[in-house]
Amino acid sequence: MVLTYFENRHAEPLVLDSLTIDFKYESQTTDLILVYSLSGNGLWLTKPKENKRISDAARLSSWQNLLLKIENGD
């Protein structure tokens, strides 16, 4: 599993791969395929020609719990 971080909407994402200990830019990785994307708006299934929203962010309890912990400084 990987986590990507975008500093802003136009930035190249940084990738943290659970199999390594280093952050790399997406352009430095050759073995990753984006399948799902999670944002404040929902969960998306990513396909080459389209992105399909498969859930609303409000329905993702783990995501909502994480946002609450961030807000509370936990």
Q: What is the pTM of this model?
A: 0.56
pLDDT in tens, 58-68: 778 887 888 88
pLDDT in tens, 6-58: 888 788 989 988 888 888 998 998 888 878 887 777 888 887 777 888 888 77
**Residue 35 per-residue DSSP state:** -
Tokens for 3, please give them.
Answer: 């986590």
